[in-house]
Amino acid sequence: MSPRTTLILVSLTLAGAACAADRNGPDLPPAASALDSVLLEARAAAGLPAMAAIVVRADTTLAIGAVGVRKQGGHAAVSTADRFHLGSNVKAMTATMIATLVEEGALHWATRPVDVFPELAGEINPAFGQVTLEQLLQHRAGIEPLLYFGDVPPFAGTPAEQRYQGTALVLGLDPAGPVGEFLYSNAGYAVAAAMAERVTGSPWEQLMTERLFAPLGITPLFGWPAAATAGAPWGHAPQGNRLVPLDPMAPTMPAAIDPAGEQSLTLEAYARFAQLHLRGLAGRPSLVGTPTYARLHAPVGDYALGWGVVDFAGEMTSTHNGSTGAFYATVFLQPGRDLAVIVVSNAGGDTAAAATVGAGIELLRRYGGAVPGAAVAARLAAR
């Protein structure tokens, strides 16, 4: 993280740190002015094209807003109805979809890849022989990370066929780290999704649409926002000291690892997913039962199933950051305070990360949530 990004983050979070132990929180501010002022300050400090945010409780929206432009150098203003790419925040969605299959008995948390792909038994590295579905989703399977998209080989066929080929490849490699220890891995989520595809006969995109998005009334978009809708926000990638618009027709990420981070949603649609989890953790579940929501958010170390889980001044907070380099998204869930905050930007890189996470923490503070100290906040922006 650069010195500039650290300064941006600290400036946005130090003022809130003193309130971290106040479990009642401040009086709620006027929604529009409070949220917009945070976004305007963060965007200006970081020099981002646009930022947007939503603050919700399980059944209500407290505030929503968007500031800036859809494309750097343009004049079209971003709106709250625009889609933003979510990157790795999709991992929690993939894990939730897979949880529906576990509840139906098509998979189990202890199911192993070799159970689902018996034809690969002679090709799987013995070190992965006892790896479970749950370990894949916890990033504790020792699977090759594939964090850099250039590391993903050019597979052929449909996206599902590419995920099967990728599964066979990574399971045949030596472990990238000790099985059972945390090692963040996009490939692990691709393997888990391939297991879901095998037992259902349906591709991940269909499973996500039918099992997660349709019940929430969400129309998914697997790709960059502007690839599907003319005039939608463009993503921006850092090049030196500039943010350069990225061609929306360029690939977002290799199809083989799409389950780890491929989705563009509006703020309101993403908030429906956050509210689904707030209600589930409060004992009002749908899609899956309360024990399953508890399991999805039960960390081993500080990572659960698609969620990082961090103590913010005594308030357990489920959180995640997501970016494929041209957008940035962050989410904070505090079930104990019935509160969720989502902040997105149409830019990637360290500066966008610090600004987006910092704005999310400041919105937590302003809307009665618990906030971390500056050191923890800086670590969150670097995740």
Instruction: Please answer whether residues 68 and 77 qualify as being in contact, where contact means their C-beta atoms are separated by less than 8 angstroms.
Output: yes
Q: Is the model's pLDDT at 29 over the cut of 70?
A: no
Angle between helices 90-104 and 186-200 (to 10 degrees): 30
pTM > 0.75: yes
Alpha-carbon gap, residue 45 to 326, rounded angstroms: 18
Q: What is the pLDDT of residues 311-334, one digit of tens each?
A: 999 999 999 999 999 999 999 999
189 dihedral zone (left: phi>0; alpha: psi -120 to 50; beta): alpha
Give dist(CA 382, CA 264) in Å, integer. 22
For residue 312, give the nearest of 368, 355, 382 by alpha carbon: 368
Q: pLDDT for 269-284, tens place per residue? A: 999 999 999 999 999 9
Q: Is the pLDDT of residue 22 over 50?
A: no
- With beta carbons less than 8 A apart as the criterion, state whether 186 and 261 touch: yes
- Residue 32 has a pLDDT of 60
- Helix locations, the chain, DSSP H: 3-17, 31-46, 90-104, 113-116, 133-137, 159-172, 186-200, 204-208, 225-228, 267-281, 290-296, 350-366, 374-381
Nearest to 55 by CA among 366, 378, 328: 366
| Full set of structural domains in the chain with CATH | 3-89+214-381 (3.40.710.10), 92-202 (no CATH)
Please give the structure tokens belonging to residue 30: 């006027």
* DSSP H helical ranges for 47-185: 90-104, 113-116, 133-137, 159-172
